[in-house]
Amino acid sequence: MRWTRFRISTAIVAASVLAIGAGSTQAEELRLLTWGGYAPDDVVAQFEEETGIDVQVTLSNNEEMIAKLRATDGGGFDLAQPSQDRITGVQEEYGIYKPIDLSKIESDLFIGSMLNGTKMNTAFDGEVYGVPHVWGTSGLVLNTKMAADVKDYTDLCNDSVAGKVSYRLKRPTLIGFAFAMGMDPFAAYGDTAAYQEMMEKVGAKLTECKPNVKVYWTGGDALINLLRSGEAVAAMAWDTGGWKLNEENPDITFVAPASGALGWIDTFALPAKTQAEDAAYKWINFVMQPEIAAKITAAAGNFTASKGADAFAEEALKTRFQDSFPPEAIDNIKWYPPVPAGLEDIEGKILDRVQAS
């Protein structure tokens, strides 16, 4: 009996050693919930080779990210990439994220104004829940020879471009015009009455400007064709659309408005039940290195918040970016904060009134 017990004990110890050994050789895994182009194959392969961490990529969008993390109370993934304006409200309602430990972020890798802006816009209960990754803007796309005097959103109302202007009847137009008129709509987010008054002024300006509008564009391809044909020479649109047209016609490009381009940022955020937090921080710091970030720009088509990454971008794209965004223009970007309840109803009524005028 003693011999049997000894043999069983020895077998248990041996099995435990094997189990420990197997665990030590098993690769660590990072489960990444992200957008298309943000984790290109070559970047994933380089990260896996340098760290030994296996990366499992799940492509998604804001709505799906929220749904997946809600279904698991913040489980199933180790790192997610929601837009910065989709974090605090979601966190308040569902608690699916955990705070970022900023001491584990190599902050020197980030463009300072973007990092600070994202920290502010993702702050909840005194904690930061997101840091910036990929970003883009809307502003002015101009034929610079035919719309040389257009420097800001309200210049789309100038007589020099009458009948050759295009923009959307959407909230970015309201926001952009408000800034160009010397107001700060984001600062009024907490005061519904003040916001209503501000939007009334913007609506009146857009109604006054209506004769200048060739057409209110609803799709990017339609707008590109308007600018390509010369039917429109000045528009409010996305930076990537302006750069695409610049490939064909050097006179057309994206211009950051004097009052500031309007910016969106997709972030890095930690799900509440992440199981590989250290791996998540390693991934963040890895992809924010300028040379790595340039590979993500090539795949995604948008730039990242990595400081100096534009120097490693494809030469023509780098030139377009630097021409559109000197450092002072980047620092002047107006980043979209979370939208409080009720404001979109105000905006919708103003836009309907402009449309019907």
Residue 39: per-residue pLDDT: 98
**27 falls in which pLDDT band (50, 70, 90)?**
low
Give CA–CA dist 293/43, Å, rounded: 9
Residue 339: per-residue pLDDT: 83
253: left (phi over 0), alpha (psi -120 to 50) or beta: beta
Q: At what angle do helices 41-51 and 290-300 cross, to 10 degrees?
A: 150
In a domain, 226, yes or no: yes
Q: For residues 163 and 289, state if they share a domain.
A: no
In a domain, 27, yes or no: yes
Q: For residues 222 and 160, state if they share a domain.
A: yes
**Would you say 319 and 243 are in contact if contact means Cβ atoms under 8 Å apart?**
no
Give CA–CA dist 77/273, Å, rounded: 8
**Would you say 237 and 141 are in contact if contact means Cβ atoms under 8 Å apart?**
yes
**Would you say 61 and 35 are in contact if contact means Cβ atoms under 8 Å apart?**
yes
**CATH value at residue 281:** 3.40.190.10
Residue 299: per-residue pLDDT: 93
In a domain, 186, yes or no: yes
Q: For residues 227 and 327, state if they share a domain.
A: no
DSSP 52-112: --EEEEEE--HHHHHHHHHHTTS-S-SEE--BGGGTHHHHHHH--EE---GGGS-GGGB-H
Residue count of the chain:
357
Q: For residues 257 and 267, state if they share a domain.
A: no
Q: For residues 142 and 232, state if they share a domain.
A: yes
Residue 257: per-residue pLDDT: 98
Give CA–CA dist 208/151, Å, rounded: 19
Q: Which residues contact 27 (CB under 8 A, 6 or more apart)?
A: 52, 53, 54
E strand or H helix that includes residue 116: helix 112-121
Q: For residues 313 and 213, state if they share a domain.
A: no
Q: For residues 99 and 131, state if they share a domain.
A: yes
Report pLDDT digits (tens) over 96-135.
999 999 999 999 999 999 999 999 999 999 999 999 999 9
- Give the number of domains in the chain: 2
Report pLDDT digits (tens) over 46-104.
999 999 999 999 999 999 999 999 999 999 999 999 999 899 989 999 999 999 999 99
In a domain, 3, yes or no: no
In a domain, 207, yes or no: yes
Task: Look up the domain containing 218 and give its range.
Answer: 137-262+337-356
What mean pLDDT value characterizes the chain?
A: 91
pTM of the shown model: 0.81
Report pLDDT digits (tens) over 274-287.
999 999 999 999 99
Give CA–CA dist 241/140, Å, rounded: 10
Q: Which residues contact 233 (CB under 8 A, 6 or more apart)?
A: 142, 143, 146, 147, 161, 164, 165, 227
Say which amino acid occupies 9: S
- Average pLDDT in the 10-34 region? 57
